[in-house]
A and B are shown apart, each in its own frame.
Chain A
Amino acid sequence: MKLYSHAPFVRGGERTPRARMSFLFAALTGIGVLSLYYNGPRLLVLTAISLCMAAAFDLLVCLLAGQRLRVTSESMLQAVLLTLFCPATVHLLLPAVGVAVMMILKQLLRMFFRQAPHISCLCAGWCFLAFCFPANFFTYAKPGVEGWPPIAMTVAVEKVASPTELLRGDAIASDFSVIDVLLGNLAGPMGACGAVVLIACIAFLCFHYRTALRTAVGAVLAVTVCALLFPRVPQELLLSVLFEVCGGSLLLCAAFALQVPGAVPLTHGGQWMLGIVWGLLTVVGRRVLPIEQAAPLALLLLTPFNFGFDLLRGQLLRGWRKFRLLGRKSV
């Protein structure tokens, strides 16, 4: 067999990883500004602590491995995202603990498997906080009502139900409107405020960085269809669908958690499959477990199967091609 070792001799002008990462940070700025408006300077303090923790871990790893000291943009991105998954009233050091767990897991996976992690470390960090500190992690308060002290370790607040928690009742009775859900004036994680802004972020990222579009759309479609077919509050169908889609960190995950390298399958077909299965698993998690913020958990459970989704897509296409060519002779 002839080995064409040097071809191709021309390369496409694709964007570099750094350029792609800069688009992610640009999108994060949009949601960060809105979150800052609702949650005040405490958001900045929490983010700064998380970033310091991520940077310290990166430097420590470089030091131990005897490499040139550097802080990766991937670690910074994941630290910011994990902070945005927390409510503003969370303990001041809790996001940093989550970041530490996330970084340790990442290094362990790299050490033992000698490859980029096949599970979403961001979602793993989220799950650690959610299962180890549920009382503090899931205590939401309506933004704008309290003036959060920026550097207080803990904040005592009156707990308010998030949109998806409201769906557990027979009827939706809340003190926030549809406009609040769309614009972000509601209880929930700091980054999950403002469905409109999150959708704008998804659109911006899809325009510049197409990777996660199919998974995000697949998941939102699956959740919407499930909410329409099996509404939790049938008498208020549209509101029920809106709360299912816009609540529970689904849009936040769709916008940002999928953008972390290795979080989605490589192929478009695999990304569609992951999106649909992720959406279905999120619905199951919300209704069976029940964990209202089931989207990151479902994503964590599915990311190890990303290769499987790619492989399945390849096998399906191969089978389809064979089926089409069946019985056709060629020379």
Chain B
Amino acid sequence: MLFFQKQGIVSIPQELPRDLTVRALPAPQTATLPLRVGGQARFCAPADRQLSLGTRLVAGEDGFGIYSPFDGMLGDLSRIRHPLLGEVPAAAVLVDACVQPPTAQTVALEQKPTEQEIVNAARVCGIIDETDGMRLDEKLLALRKKGVALLVGDACEDQPGCFAALCVLRQYGAQAELGLQLACLATGAQQGFFVRFGDADERFDTLPLQTQVHALGCQYPALPERRVQQESKQPFGSIGVQALAALYRALAFREPQLGLAVSIGGEILDMPRCYFVPFGTALSHAVQACGIHYPSYTCVSGGALRGTKVSDAMPMSIGVTGVYVQENAPEPAAKPCFGCGACANVCPQNLLPIHIMKSRRRGHKMKLKLLHPEDCIGCGACSYVCPSGIDLTRFVRLAAQDAAKEAVR
């Protein structure tokens, strides 16, 4: 039995009210589907270029598949520069209809699958773990090789505006639970449970699940891996809840992964919502569906504290489960540090961000070595609390880059 202590750092208010149902997104007119497999693959679209839901577009040499989430006409193939994936091949699609959110029902499997069948299903259905962007089949094999005893279903989203994992746990909890059992079977783990962020929303207090759901307090950053590592005496692994639910659907309904539940949050939206977004849909399409009336806005992929600013034309892909939308306003200028120490006291890694920034600026290499900037996890808590508005996270990251370069030399 694990015991989770309260170990948060910063209290960040979560925006309320918000819609917690995973909704269907209206079909976009066009889409650009990124086709990244992570190995040798061949393009296997139909010769007439007519697509229907679930048409296989790419087949990896090991059987990994990418499927069309749209009904429509396949356009040109090209290479695009994706802000998160880098340069990837992509297929343009003229869309007639798009995939709807998966059914939440569960059925009993005809027979207990073997570990190889589970891994094969994850591979063929092209399931990606949304928490780290890793292929689920490869991850299951890696976890088995490591000999994990505990498997954690990761539903922990602690940044403001991010709540997709919690919505999935609420709506597809039964499927995620069965997926966790299957993943335990495939990895040889003896025990599985879920972790979630201790969101103040009371609708998450009673989730209809038989598996334990551990809440990690209500403060940021929640850092589930570190907490499990500290409290458990056994080796463990973690898999995102969306991937677990998709794993169950792959075995029960032979359903490939065609999209992800993505939460769209931000104060300028009419209502923060969670949509099931087909891969390849432009970000602007999902944002407009939430009701935004600003002529100019900024989208942040991955949450307001750790995310990356992206263009709203970015096609949605694996690994994006939260988007934060804010008004397009210039950042206020930073004031000089007056030594309040707030940054040092919120750092979950016990670093001294302001000293790191000053040492880097003055070129004190020995001092920087003592300050360990490479331990930064990029949570952004230091910049969040700085009353002078200094972007400390950026300076610590730069110092970490310098340290990495120095180590290579």
Interface residues of A (CB under 8 A from B): 1-12, 14-17, 20, 114-116, 211, 261-262, 264-268, 271, 307, 310-311, 313-314, 317-318, 324-325, 328-331
A14–B355 touching, CB < 8 Å: no
Interface residues of B (CB under 8 A from A): 10, 12, 142-143, 146, 148, 160, 225, 229-230, 232-233, 235-237, 298, 300, 304-309, 324, 326, 335, 337-345, 350-352, 354-355, 358, 362, 370-372, 378, 380, 383-389, 391, 393-394, 397-398, 400-401, 404
B380–A12 touching, CB < 8 Å: no
A262 proximity list for chain B (CB < 8 A): 339
B355–A8 touching, CB < 8 Å: no
B335–A310 touching, CB < 8 Å: no
If A261-B339, A324-B230, A328-B229 touch, does A14 touch B345 (CB 8 Å cutoff)?
A: no
A266–B354 touching, CB < 8 Å: yes
With most chain B CB atoms within 10 A of its CB, the pick from A10, A12, A271 is: A10
Can you list 22 residue pairs at the A/B interface with Cβ under 8 Å? A1-B397, A1-B404, A3-B397, A5-B391, A7-B307, A7-B383, A8-B306, A8-B380, A8-B384, A10-B304, A12-B12, A12-B384, A267-B345, A267-B352, A307-B355, A311-B352, A314-B351, A318-B372, A324-B230, A328-B229, A328-B233, A331-B237
Give the shortest distance, in Å, between A59 (CB) and chain B (any CB).
20
B324–A310 touching, CB < 8 Å: no
Give the shortest distance, in Å, between B316 (CB) and chain A (any CB).
19
Q: Which residue in B304, B337, B398, B404 is a CB contact (below 8 Å) of A9?
A: B304
B341–A266 touching, CB < 8 Å: yes
Question: Which secondary structure characterizes the binding site on chain A?
Answer: loop
A317–B350 touching, CB < 8 Å: yes
B341–A265 touching, CB < 8 Å: yes
Considering only CB atoms, which chain A residue lies closest to B305 in the complex?
A: A8
A5–B380 touching, CB < 8 Å: no
Known: A1-B400, A8-B383. 14 other contacts (CB 8 A): A3-B397, A3-B401, A6-B391, A7-B300, A7-B393, A8-B384, A9-B324, A11-B386, A12-B384, A20-B338, A116-B338, A261-B340, A310-B344, A329-B235
B342–A14 touching, CB < 8 Å: yes
B339–A116 touching, CB < 8 Å: yes
A267 proximity list for chain B (CB < 8 A): 341, 344-345, 350, 352
A20 proximity list for chain B (CB < 8 A): 338, 340, 387
Considering only CB atoms, which chain B residue lies closest to A3 in the complex?
A: B397
Q: Which residue in A5, A8, A307 is a CB contact (below 8 Å) of B304?
A: A8
Q: Which residue in A8, A10, A271, A318 is a CB contact (below 8 Å) of B393?
A: A8
Distance in angstroms between the alpha carbons of A20 and B342 in the assembled complex: 13
B12 proximity list for chain A (CB < 8 A): 10, 12
A4 proximity list for chain B (CB < 8 A): 306-308, 378, 380, 393-394, 397
Give the shortest distance, in Å, between A251 (CB) and chain B (any CB).
22
A314–B350 touching, CB < 8 Å: yes
A16 proximity list for chain B (CB < 8 A): 335, 387
B233 proximity list for chain A (CB < 8 A): 328
A268 proximity list for chain B (CB < 8 A): 345
B339–A330 touching, CB < 8 Å: no
B401–A6 touching, CB < 8 Å: no
Give the shortest distance, in Å, between B163 (CB) and chain A (any CB).
15
Give the shortest distance, in Å, between B56 (CB) and chain A (any CB).
31
A115–B401 touching, CB < 8 Å: no
Distance in angstroms between the alpha carbons of A79 and B142 in the assembled complex: 65
Considering only CB atoms, which chain A residue lies closest to B394 in the complex?
A: A5
A7 proximity list for chain B (CB < 8 A): 300, 304-308, 378, 380, 383, 393
User: Which 4 pairs of residues, A with B, have the shortest CB-CB distance?
Assistant: A266-B341, A8-B380, A14-B387, A266-B344
Considering only CB atoms, which chain B residue lies closest to A268 in the complex?
A: B345
A331–B387 touching, CB < 8 Å: no
Distance in angstroms between the alpha carbons of A81 and B386 in the assembled complex: 27
A331–B394 touching, CB < 8 Å: no
If A4-B308, A8-B393 touch, does A211 touch B341 (CB 8 Å cutoff)?
A: yes
Considering only CB atoms, which chain B residue lies closest to A307 in the complex?
A: B355
